[in-house]
Chains A and B, each alone.
Chain A
Amino acid sequence: MIMRTAHESSHDLAQRSLSQKLWSWRYIVLRRLSQFVILLLFFGSAHWGWEVGKDVPLLSGNLSGSKFIGLIPMADPFAALQIFLAGHVLQTEAILGAALVLGFYILVGGRVFCAWACPVNPVTDLAGWLRVRFDIRPTFILSRNMRYFVLALTLVLSVLTGVAAFEWVSPVGMAHREIIFGVGFGAMALLSIFLFDLFVLKHGWCGHLCPLGAFWSVVGKINPTLRVRFDKTTCTHCGECAKVCPEPQVLNLKHLEEKGFVFSGECSNCGRCTPVCPENSLVFDFKPLIHAHNAQVQGSVSVSETQRRV
């Protein structure tokens, strides 16, 4: 369990010292690092011949399908699902790979992919940051549920056209493949996402349209082990968290007070909200420990019961 340190929280964000500021950027630094390392491993294996043995590449392939140290297959379960619907029975390796990846994200939270692995995330993050920086007002409003319709359409079209509908047009895949396997017009796809997010719709791609994100949101509903814990006893409803959150609807405090943690599948565990909370009411925690913690804080449940629940 992550314990609160008494003086970590400073009520005025602007008055934080440099070291406090750096510490508050820990998750964004870690996320960029994770995104970069994933790309680097793929790139190094494809271009610089990074190998763990003779003809055994370190990490061969890309995010659609890959093999780590010649042993562990990985595959994008959403791509695998589309291919299956397109009418191809996948080979064991792809099925196993998809199951492994799916299992991992069920454990840590589906949209952890979006915030920690997806190569489009730094681009849309930059657009989101610039939007706040230059105070670009929204031009129109679109339901965030749009992505689930795009997701459904992807699956239907895969059946009807006989090809993996999203994989064939995915700007995520285009950009990612072209970083690893050679440049084409995928950069234009990234640029258009960037401009769309910046000038047209805030968090437009990741938060409203991307069916891959929608797929991971559905996966995230299952029962992730890692979630942001919410302390209703300390929260002052200042709203700092919702200002930085790319999916602010997941921070509906009324619902959080009932559940005690950020439960929505749309939360990507990006960790933006945790350092900005002046009361430290939002902290990453393992879900089995969250109930115990909240119960202890509220003092409504005796210690023995807490242990039994854990």
Chain B
Amino acid sequence: MSANRRDFLLRLMQGATLASTGGLGWAYLLRQEARAQPFALRPPGALPDDDFNAACIKCGQCVVACPFDTLKLEPAGGNLPIGMPFFEPREIPCYLCPDIPCMKACPTGALSPKLKNINDARMGFALVDTENCLSWKGLRCEICHRECPLKGKAITLETHPRQISKHAMFIPVVHSDACTGCGICVRACPTTEPAIRILPHALVQGKIGDHYRLGWTREDAITQEFDASGAAPTIAAPTNAPSGPVKGNATDYLNDGGL
């Protein structure tokens, strides 16, 4: 083997080793960073976590655009991925500007311009600590309900009977189909530590699964019109089948013998 060739191969190996060890360490750092604290609350319109991580250029234009100083950029050494916008509702919640200036300021689309109505924002989901909520203790509080910008939709009050008194309890109930996760309720909650919190949906919401049929609800009522092709993966719809409800599919599915 000529000295030149040997030298070249040696350098190649040195380079490859350096690149792979350095690359592994670096990639580890990045993955740790990307996984950091999944409870971060992002500005309205933020893409799902992985996409947001990829798209955010960390420029802070949303922070400058926010008229309430709600948004902050995470500095180095914090708990959240570095340099990304977030907010802490107990300090300053999102006041749901109808013109969404933070989203408009975003140059990359990490805050998606698909968000047209601020009430469609889903920054997180409010969760009530039933052990420490004043309303659950039987006191007349309901401050979260009163302060909620979508009261009656995102937070409703339900009456519960109470054992020791004639008076009912007025319990705040949060509805995920309307709650934006703005955190105004968190800011307003009068307990020492807020008894209502905002968490990203993925951390609190379960999923019932497509195979459940709630026969008593209008949308899910099982009738002879029921289209099982979308629900029961065991039966593939004929490729040339007309779209829309197919008569008889539900009964076929139940009488197929595969159950």
Contacts and interface: CB of A to CB of B under 8 A. Distances in A.
Contact of A75 (B50, B54, B74, B107): B107
Contacts of B249: none
Interface string A135-172: 00000000000000100110011001111110111000
B61 A189 contact: no
Given A157-B26, A181-B72, A182-B72, A64 B59 contact: yes
B75 A182 contact: yes
B17 to A, nearest CB: 12
Given A60-B65, A162-B54, A177-B73, A65 B82 contact: no
B18 A45 contact: no
B75 A181 contact: yes
Interface stretch (A82-90, A110-118, A233-241): A82-90
A142 to B, nearest CB: 11
B99 to A, nearest CB: 10
B19 A184 contact: no
B153 interface: no
A61 B60 contact: yes
A152 B18 CA distance: 13
Given A75-B107, A153-B19, A168-B30, A178 B64 contact: no
Interface residues of B, number: 44
B54 A86 contact: yes
Interface stretch (A91-99, A274-282, A300-308): A91-99
Contacts of B73: 177, 181-182
B19 A67 contact: no
Contacts of B77: 184-186, 188
Contacts of B58: 62, 64-65, 79, 167, 173, 177
B242 interface: no
A160 B31 CA distance: 10
A55 B107 contact: no
A62 B60 contact: yes
A91 B109 contact: yes
Contact of B108 (A91, A182, A188): A91
Given A169-B29, A182-B75, A163 B59 contact: no
Nearest to A182: B75
Given A75-B107, A76-B57, A163 B30 contact: yes
Contacts of A181: 60, 63, 72-73, 75
A178 B64 CA distance: 14
A28 to B, nearest CB: 29
Nearest to A66: B59
Contact of A184 (B26, B33, B75): B75
B27 interface: yes
Interface string A177-211: 11011111110110000000000000000000000
A169 B64 contact: no
Contact of A168 (B19, B72, B81, B101): B81
A168 B109 contact: no
Interface of A: 45-46, 55, 57, 60-62, 64-67, 73, 75-76, 79-80, 83, 86-91, 93-94, 97, 149, 152-153, 156-157, 160-165, 167-169, 173-174, 177-178, 180-186, 188-189
20 contacts: A60-B105, A61-B61, A62-B58, A65-B59, A67-B105, A79-B57, A83-B55, A87-B54, A88-B108, A88-B109, A94-B108, A149-B18, A163-B54, A169-B33, A174-B82, A181-B72, A184-B75, A184-B77, A186-B75, A189-B76
Nearest 6 A-B pairs (CB), nearest first? A184-B75, A185-B77, A65-B59, A91-B109, A88-B55, A86-B54
Given A174-B82, A181-B60, 9 more contacts: A57-B64, A61-B64, A62-B58, A79-B57, A156-B23, A157-B27, A163-B54, A182-B73, A188-B77
